[in-house]
Amino acid sequence: MSLLKRIFGICETKPPIEPEAWWYTDDRVVLDLKKLPELSEPGNAIRLEGKKLPERILLLFDADGKFHAFRNCCAHMGRRIDPVAGTRNIRCCSVFQSTYDYSGSPISGAAKSPIKTYPVEAENGKLIISLNSSIGF
List interacting residues with ligand FES (CB under 6 A): 74, 76-79, 92, 94, 96, 98, 109-111
The nearer residue to ligand FES, 36 or 94, going by C-beta atoms, is 94
Element (H, E) at 91: strand 89-92
Provide the minimum distance between the beta carbon of 42 and ligand FES in the complex, in angstroms, as a whole number.
25
The nearer residue to ligand FES, 31 or 72, going by C-beta atoms, is 72
Element (H, E) at 108: strand 106-108
Provide the minimum distance between the beta carbon of 91 and ligand FES in the complex, in angstroms, as a whole number.
9
The nearer residue to ligand FES, 113 or 133, going by C-beta atoms, is 113
Provide the minimum distance between the beta carbon of 26 and ligand FES in the complex, in angstroms, as a whole number.
30
Q: With beta carbons less than 8 A apart as the criterion, state whether 102 and 117 touch.
A: yes
CB atoms within 10 A of CB 55: 12
Provide the minimum distance between the beta carbon of 124 and ligand FES in the complex, in angstroms, as a whole number.
36
C-alpha to C-alpha distance for 123 and 43, rounded to whole angstroms: 21
C-alpha to C-alpha distance for 82 and 101, rounded to whole angstroms: 12
